[in-house]
Structure 1
Amino acid sequence: MKALVLAGGLGTRLRPVTHTMPKQLIPLANRPVLEHVLDDLRPLGVREIGVVVGDWGPDIAARVGDGSRFGARITYIPQERPLGLAHCVSIARPFLGDDDFVMYLGDNLIQDGVTATAEQFAARRSDAHLAVARVADPRSFGVAELDAHAEVVRLVEKPRHPRSDLALIGVYFFSAAIHRAVAAITPSARGELEITDAVQWLLDRGARVTAGEYTGYWRDTGRIEDLLDCNRRLLDALAADRGGPADRVLLAPGATTARSTLTGPVLIGAGSVVENCRIGPGTSIGEGCVVRDSTLENCIVMDGARVVGRHGLRDALLGPATALGTGPHDARLGAPAGPLEVTA
């Protein structure tokens, strides 16, 4: 089995941060979202991964590398502009060949991984197997309607009047049959080749499409509030996995704190300095940061950021090399201003 990871989206909902970096490289617990996705593929035994990239392709390749860190070989597949998930399958055909493959959206976090979904696909041997989850409002998702045997009878993209609460969550397992469907469909009203249309094409021609319900934590990280929630979840899990102290504060090698109160889960990256601060739950501070005379809670602070003399900062995403300071502290920052996004 191969894997196709989609990392070409524009991240318009995360601007201004995504003016200067791809959304797939925004860190959760100090690791890019995309790396969490690639980690999920390792237990599947996948050794060949195609990563579809857009304008940020060189930045993604520089960070992720050749795949050896993830036990695989990565092939980068350029996409000139976002033209739909099925278009990604089309341009990846030379890479995919006739192998089974998993397609995974590179900006999704699925905390329990996709091993169970892969096992379902292997056991049922359908032409397509979809990961679905129950949501309160399915109108923003592709929606699957299932029969009593968990076989898909209909797919609808963002229905105005959903007949099911089972949303597609961005993980799809396919046989080579999907290529005929992708080649046959036409762009939707929004000008994209929809993967839901391709799967529906298979259904209309008698193909067998199954689904498995995922009941764990997952998020599309396209909004800041979702990134912050994911970050908090991963920090909790990281502290538990490492058997952290009762206050659940994790310091990477070379990180230092002084005259500060840290209430976990908190993660401070290598080489960062925290002095005279109150750092509250859900905060991750990247590598090489300086945070002084400030209070932060539920924040993502990316590598190289400087925060001095800022109090009451919460629910914030600070881009790399961001400089925040007031009055006489400004001269101590030593870094150019970078992107900042805050949500109340």
Structure 2
Amino acid sequence: MRALVLAGGSGTRLRPFSYSMPKQLIPIANTPVLEYVVRNILDLGVTEIGIIVGDRVNEIQQALGDGSRFGARLTYIRQEAPLGLAHTVSIARDFLGDDDFVMYLGDNMLPDGIADIAEEFAVGRSAAHVVVCKVADPRAFGVAELGPGGEVLRLVEKPQQPRSDLALIGVYFFTAAIHEAIAAIRPSGRGELEITDAIQWLVSAGADVRASRYEGYWKDTGKVGDVLACNERILDGLRSSMDGEVDDVSVLVGPVVVEEGARIVRSRIKGPAIIGAGTLVKDSHIGPHTSVGRGCAVIGSRLEHSIVLDGASVTGVQGLHSSVVGRSASVGITSQSADRYRLVVGDHTQVEVAA
């Protein structure tokens, strides 16, 4: 089996961050989402992984390399324009050959893994096997209607009047039969080759198409709120480690990771929390559920339930809550009065809040 990871999307819902970084590299507990995806695929025993990339190919290659540090071999495949999920399969045909493969959206977080569903596919080896999850509003997703045995009866992309609340969550298993289906379909009304149309073509042709309901934790990290919620979920599984420096008057409570070169000075860190490599935390209170990236400075501040990306600085701010601070951003103080703030700060920006 091979894998195809889709990492070419522009991430409009994650602006301003996606203006300056691929959305698939947004860090969850100081690790890019895309790295979690690759590791989930490796857990299936799959080491040949194709990565569909767009204009941000250099940044993604820099983050993942050739895959050798994971024990994988990564092949980067350029998609010149966002022409649909089925289009990514067609341009990856030389890489995929006639092998079975798993297709995985690169901004999906499924920390509980997909090994049991991969086993279902390997045993049954249906033409296609989709992963679905019950959602409150299925209109934003591909929607599956299932029979009593888990067989797929019908798929519709973003229906205005859904006949099911089971959404496709962006993980698919295919045999080579999908290539014939993709060759037979035409672009949808939005000008894309829809993978739902290709799978529906298989259903209509009488092929065996199955679905599994995902019971674990799942987040599409396409919105800031979902990124923060997912960060909390991953931090909840944190185990303490100490590779940096903590002075005698600082206090660490609960699971806290202090990475190499980080310094904690006259501060209190309440876990779960991560302090990235080379970061200075001074006269501050951090956590719970907070991750601070590498090379940051947090001085005289209080941060809770937040994410601070690499190279950012937060100075003199008391009460930063449920916030995301972008790479190399600077958050400081002003003379106005307030006691709590919620910020979404893009990369290389500067924001002043009340002292």
Report the alpha carbon displacement of residue 314 of structure 1 after superposing the two structures with TM.
1.6
* One of 311, 315, 322 as aligned partner of 1:308: 315
| SS of structure 1 residue aligned to 2:311 | coil
More relative contact order, 1 or 2 (CA 8 Å, 6+ apart): 1
CA distance in structure 1 between the partners assigned to 2:186 and 2:350 by the alignment:
39
Partner of 2:302: 295
Matched, 1:274 2:275: no
Report the alpha carbon displacement of residue 259 of structure 1 after superposing the two structures with TM.
1.8
CA distance in structure 2 between the partners assigned to 1:122 and 1:2 by the alignment:
13
Partner of 2:268: 261
**Per the alignment, do residues 45 and 295 of structure 1 end up closer, same or farther by CA in structure 2, a change over 3 Å counting?**
same
Whether contact under 8 Å (1:323, 1:337) holds in the other structure is no
CA distance in structure 1 between the partners assigned to 2:324 and 2:55 by the alignment:
22
Whether contact under 8 Å (2:5, 2:103) holds in the other structure is yes
Matched, 1:12 2:19: no
User: C-alpha deviations, 1:302-337, integer Å up to 9, x for none?
Assistant: 111111112221221111111122369xxxxxxx97
Partner of 2:178: 178
Report the alpha carbon displacement of residue 254 of structure 1 after superposing the two structures with TM.
2.0
Partner of 1:70: 70
| SS of structure 1 residue aligned to 2:98 | coil
Partner of 2:129: 129
CA distance in structure 1 between the partners assigned to 2:67 and 2:145 by the alignment:
36
Report the alpha carbon displacement of residue 248 of structure 1 after superposing the two structures with TM.
1.8
Whether contact under 8 Å (2:48, 2:74) holds in the other structure is yes
Report the alpha carbon displacement of residue 140 of structure 1 after superposing the two structures with TM.
1.2
Could you say which structure has the higher helix fraction?
Answer: 1
**Per the alignment, do residues 26 and 82 of structure 1 end up closer, same or farther by CA in structure 2, a change over 3 Å counting?**
same
Matched, 1:139 2:146: no
CA distance in structure 1 between the partners assigned to 2:202 and 2:292 by the alignment:
46
| SS of structure 2 residue aligned to 1:154 | strand
TM-score of the aligned structures, taking structure 2 as reference length: 0.90
| SS of structure 2 residue aligned to 1:312 | strand
Report the alpha carbon displacement of residue 194 of structure 1 after superposing the two structures with TM.
0.6
* Structure 2 gaps, min length 5: 243-251, 336-345
| SS of structure 2 residue aligned to 1:178 | helix
Report the alpha carbon displacement of residue 241 of structure 1 after superposing the two structures with TM.
11
CA distance in structure 2 between the partners assigned to 1:174 and 1:95 by the alignment:
14
- Number of residue pairs matched by the alignment: 332
Partner of 1:228: 228
Aligned ranges 1:312-323 → 2 under 5 Å:
312-323=319-330
Whether contact under 8 Å (1:317, 1:340) holds in the other structure is no
Give the counterpart letter for 2:314 in structure 1: V
CA distance in structure 2 between the partners assigned to 1:88 and 1:288 by the alignment:
36
**Per the alignment, do residues 186 and 337 of structure 1 end up closer, same or farther by CA in structure 2, a change over 3 Å counting?**
closer
Partner of 2:87: 87
Partner of 2:348: 338
Partner of 1:331: none
TM-score of the aligned structures, taking structure 1 as reference length: 0.93
RMSD, matched Cα: 1.9
Whether contact under 8 Å (2:331, 2:350) holds in the other structure is no
Report the alpha carbon displacement of residue 280 of structure 1 after superposing the two structures with TM.
2.3
Whether contact under 8 Å (1:302, 1:318) holds in the other structure is yes
User: C-alpha deviations, 1:119-166, integer Å up to 9, x for none?
Assistant: 010111100001111112211111111111101011111112222111
Give the counterpart letter for 1:158 in structure 2: K
Aligned ranges 1:30-179 → 2 under 5 Å:
30-179=30-179
Partner of 2:200: 200
Report the alpha carbon displacement of residue 340 of structure 1 after superposing the two structures with TM.
7.8
Give the counterpart letter for 1:208 in structure 2: D
Give the counterpart letter for 2:206 in structure 1: G
**Per the alignment, do residues 291 and 100 of structure 1 end up closer, same or farther by CA in structure 2, a change over 3 Å counting?**
same
CA distance in structure 2 between the partners assigned to 1:166 and 1:186 by the alignment:
25
Report the alpha carbon displacement of residue 240 of structure 1 after superposing the two structures with TM.
8.2
**Per the alignment, do residues 80 and 298 of structure 1 end up closer, same or farther by CA in structure 2, a change over 3 Å counting?**
same
| SS of structure 2 residue aligned to 1:226 | helix
User: C-alpha deviations, 1:209-236, integer Å up to 9, x for none?
Assistant: 0011111110110000000001111111
Whether contact under 8 Å (1:319, 1:340) holds in the other structure is no
Give the counterpart letter for 1:323 in structure 2: S
CA distance in structure 2 between the partners assigned to 1:255 and 1:263 by the alignment:
16
| SS of structure 1 residue aligned to 2:305 | strand
